[in-house]
Amino acid sequence: MKRVQTALGDFSKVKPFVTLDDLRKEFPVLQDVPDSLLKISSGDLFEVLLIQRKCPLCTGYLNCWRDGDGKGEIRGIKSVTPHGIEFEEYTCQPARDHFARIAHAKMLEQAGMTKAERRFSFNTFPPEQKERHIKMVEHAERFANEFTPDKQEPGIYLFGSSGIGKTHLLLAVCNQLIDRGVPAVFTTAEKLMDRLRDAIREGEGELTRLKRWYSTVPMLAIDEFAQETVSDWTLGKMFEILDDRWQSGLSTWFASNTEPPFVYDHYHPDDPRIAKVVKALRSRVFELALAGRMTGRDHRLKNLANAFEPEY
C-alpha cells in the first residue's frame, strides 16, 4: 500500500510513516472517505494527528511544540462530505490561560493600583462598618460578583467623613472585578488629572487616548472626588469623561468627603460658563450613581491607643 511521509515537524516520535488506512483507524469519521480525498487533505490530517498525539503531553503555552502562528492553536476535523474534509481551528486552553494572565497584568497596570491597594477586599472590610451599612455592602458585593461589561448598572457615590471605609469599599469592588477578569480602573481624582496633564506633554494624541480610556472602561472608580486641585481645565475634562460615561451607560463609582449637592462647591469661578459646568457635573454624578452615605469612627486612628507617650 502506498505510504505518505509528513513534512510537519518531527514526526519520528509519533510514527515515521503513516498510511491512509492508518488515518482511517485514527479518525473513524474517515472510514468511508475515498483515497483521492484523503490524499488531497493528507497534510492537514497529519497535522491533526500530530496535535492529537502531542498536545495531551503539553507542559504550557511557552513550551508549545508548534512554531509561529500555529503556536497554541488546535486543529481538528469539523466535517466530512462527499466533496472534501473541512477543518476547524481554535486556541487551546493553555494558550488562553497564558494570554489571560497577560491581559490581567495589563489590566492591573492600566488600573494604576498599588500592591497595597490590591490587598483590600470584602473579607478585610471592618466588621463594625459592615454591620452599620449592611444593605450598601451587600449591594457592592453583589455588583462585584455579578457585573459584566454588557450590563448598564449605576455605581454608588459614597460620601462621609474620613477613615470610615469609603476607599476600602471602592477597592474591594474593583479588586473583585479585576480578579474576575472584568476591566475596572481605580484612581483618585487628583491622580486622574495629573495623568491627563502629563499626557499633554506627550502630545494631543496621548491625551485623547488616555481620556478615551477613562471614558470607556466598563467600571471606573474615582476616589477623593471633588477634593482634587481644581481649575477650569480640570473641571472641563472631568465633565467630558463623566458625560461620555453617562452617554454610554457605563458604571461609575465615587468616594468623597463632599455630599453630592455640594460637589465642587469650594470652587468659585468668575466665569459664569464654568458655573454651568459645575452644575452639569453635579447632574452627571446624580445620573451615574446612587447616593450612599457612610458614617462611623475613623478607623485610621485605631492605633492611637498604642501610641508612645512622653515619659516626662
The average pLDDT across 96-109 equals 74
Check residue 105 and give its pLDDT.
Answer: 72
Contact status, residue 38 vs residue 20, Cβ threshold 8 Å: yes
Check residue 255 and give its pLDDT.
Answer: 97
| Residue boundaries of the structural domains of the chain | 3-95, 112-299
Write out pLDDT tens, residues 187-214. Answer: 999 999 998 998 888 877 888 988 998 9
Assign residue 182 a region (left: φ > 0; alpha: ψ between -120 and 50; beta: otherwise). beta
Answer whether residue 173 shows pLDDT above 90. yes
Check residue 15 and give its pLDDT.
Answer: 46
Q: pTM for the full model?
A: 0.67
Nearest to 117 by CA among 221, 46, 253: 221
Identify the CATH assignment for 112-299 out of 3.40.50.300, 3.20.20.140, 3.90.650.10, 3.40.309.10. 3.40.50.300
Distances (CA, A) of 20 to 76, 159, 244, 290: 17, 73, 61, 67
